[in-house]
Amino acid sequence: MQVHEFAQPFTAGRGDVGVLFLHGFTASPWTLRAWAGATAEAGYRVSVPRLPGHGTSWRELEVTEGRDWYAAAERAFVELRGECSTVFVAGLSMGGALALQLAERHADEVAGLILVNPALVGHPRLALVPLAQHVIRTVDSVGSSIRKAGVTEHSYPRTPLRAVHAMMRLWADVRARLDLVYCPILLLHSDADDVVPIISKEIVLRQVSSEEITEVALPDSAHVAPLDNDADLIVERTLDFLTEYAVR
């Protein structure tokens, strides 16, 4: 299936410190391109893979699941790890869950995590999804939760419930092993996140074993914060975090 031009994977930069960027559910590398590009311009090597089922059609997303998304993230991580001695992982929403899963399974290799509104649970209404998916194939788009006028993340117009259920199973897998995460974490969260409930952030804070966690509030952004009004703040705090921990 043809990949949209805006959804192509993105790599840039040089250097011995790499940052892997992982996009969210129904989105594509486009969502993180500006964030990753600014990081590359600051002297880091960056990689933004396209997760399977994304950037094409919701019909392709419908037949993918958590193990497909994780496998793509892990391949990109291993490739970047082969080019750099130090690798950080950044993720938005479901990409944050995948970043945490990488840190669980590659604890000795992930130097740190940069998480923006990481998704580990959903709203209570998602409890109906396991049954509803057999009756209702798709629902309205869950993407482009952005305050800034005129900005879109090019998410799918429809959301397949089968894929939502797959994402919920991914969340459960990640939550079960959060104690295996030991690396430093930069946790950025929107004050007005209407997609991921605040308990998701609290689960990260409560269950990881990391001793160094820096929280940053994003006061003027909705869920897709890297494309919203606090985009510059995200870049600034990302570069501060990389500067502090890359030298260790």
pLDDT digits (tens, 9 = 90+) for 97-124: 999 999 999 999 999 999 999 999 987 7
Selected residue with higher pLDDT from 192 and 36: 36
pLDDT at 19 over 70: yes
Nearest to 31 by CA among 53, 8, 15, 13: 8
Q: How many C-beta neighbours within 10 Å does residue 10 have? A: 19
Pairwise CA distance, residues 8 & 96, whole Å: 20
Mean pLDDT of the chain: 92
As annotated, the active-site residues are 93, 193, 223
Domains delineated in the chain: 5-246 (3.40.50.1820)
pTM for this predicted structure: 0.94
Tokens 């129904």, residue located: 26
Total residues belonging to the chain: 248
Instruction: Select the more confidently predicted residue: 73 or 246.
Output: 73
pLDDT digits (tens, 9 = 90+) for 201-239: 999 999 999 999 999 999 999 999 999 999 999 999 999
